[in-house]
Amino acid sequence: MATPYQGNVTPRAPSAQDSAAGPAIRTIGMSDLQQALRRGWEDFKAVPSHAIILCVIYPVLGLVLARTTFGYAVVPMLFPLAAGFALLGPFAALPLYELSSRRERGEEPSAWDALDVVRSPSFGAMLGLGTLLLALFVTWVATAQAIYVAVFGYEGASGVSDFVQRVLTTPQGWWLIVVGCGVGFLFALVALCISIVSFPMMLDRHAGAGEAMVTSIRVAARNPVTIAAWGLIVAALLVAGSIPLFLGLAVVIPLLGHASWHLYRAAVTIDPNARPIPPRPPRERKPAADFPANLFPWRRRDDA
């Protein structure tokens, strides 16, 4: 049974200033990353069948992307698609955060519990931030395509061997590697900074997307080296999981998803006695028949 995250830093009670400025941010180190991965692995071992079922879409989608790419003779787009798909990982791991949260509270989670994430009061905010990550993914793929066209033109590679020869044996290919990886790093950096703890915080505290992104950026700014190391760990594990026909992602994705929850616990100080942030009340519906009277709500109150 999992226990609440203890970390290596003694937590302090948030002050009034912390409440006004947002959650307090801890300074974390490599030992915290190791502990987050260890706890994530424990979560995965506790509910392996659930995690694999939830993440089976990753290897399936990876194989579909690979087949589609080869079928349309656009081999150069295979790597940008596979790499860019990781930008959507923080949103796709929402069910895993729910499982880790329940284990942390001492519950025995089931597969159905993972679906409760859609009932969260902040699920709309999660969808909003997920849409932003999707737009980032689409922009990255379009940018990668533009870079390739700028280097080699519109003529596609005839096969894998032709593409590899172009990239590794020509000056244009090396330029493509340097520029493509550099631009891809910038996209990954933006996605990492705005989502490192955003989705776990929205699930845990019912925070809005804006507040969650600001907190995530604060975590990255407070711990730039550690967060950079986490990004490298994520990239390395995703590459390792993608090598065997993407099948390794069935283990890598749930591990990273669970570990991200524990990383959030390590980096963000939450008062255990604090209540979750209440969701914003829905806006009052104003029928079109009341126009233009609905522009002057105080007149209606006076009339009443």
Q: What is the pLDDT of residue 28?
A: 94
**Percentage of residues in the chain with pLDDT exceeding 90?**
30
The full set of domain ranges for the chain reads: 27-270
Of 128-137, 156-165, 295-304, the range with the highest mean pLDDT is: 128-137
Per-residue pLDDT band at 92 (split at 50, 70, 90): confident
pLDDT in tens, 238-286: 888 777 666 777 788 889 999 999 999 999 987 655 555 554 444 455 5
Q: Is the dihedral of CA 264, 268, 269, 271 positive or negative?
A: negative
CA separation for the pair 196, 260 (Å, rounded): 8
Nearest to 268 by CA among 22, 91, 43: 22
Q: Which residue has the higher pLDDT, 71 or 295?
A: 71
Mean pLDDT over residues 191-215, rounded?
92
Average pLDDT taken over every residue of the chain:
77
**Alpha carbon distances (Å) from 47 to 14, 134, 192, 207:** 33, 28, 26, 27
1 pLDDT above the threshold of 60 = no
Of 15-29, 197-211, 286-300, the range with the highest mean pLDDT is: 197-211
Q: What is the pLDDT of residue 133?
A: 93
60 pLDDT above the threshold of 70 = no
**Percentage of residues in the chain with pLDDT exceeding 70?**
69
Q: What is the pLDDT of residue 244?
A: 66
Q: Which residue has the higher pLDDT, 266 or 49?
A: 266
Of 61-65, 277-281, 290-294, the range with the highest mean pLDDT is: 61-65
Q: What is the pLDDT of residue 127?
A: 93
Contact (Cβ atoms closer than 8 angstroms) between residue 62 and residue 167:
no
- Please report where in the chains the tokens 């019912």 appear, as a residue: 206
Mean pLDDT over residues 279-299, rounded?
50
Of 23-37, 80-94, 110-124, 139-153, the range with the highest mean pLDDT is: 23-37
Q: What is the pLDDT of residue 10?
A: 41
CA separation for the pair 256, 24 (Å, rounded): 24
Nearest to 255 by CA among 20, 77, 46: 46
Q: Which residue has the higher pLDDT, 284 or 9?
A: 284
271-285 burial: b if 16+ Cβ within 10 Å, else e: eeeeeebeeeeeeee
Mean pLDDT over residues 127-139, rounded?
93
Q: What is the pLDDT of residue 293?
A: 52
Contact (Cβ atoms closer than 8 angstroms) between residue 28 and residue 228:
no
Amino acid at residue number 241:
G
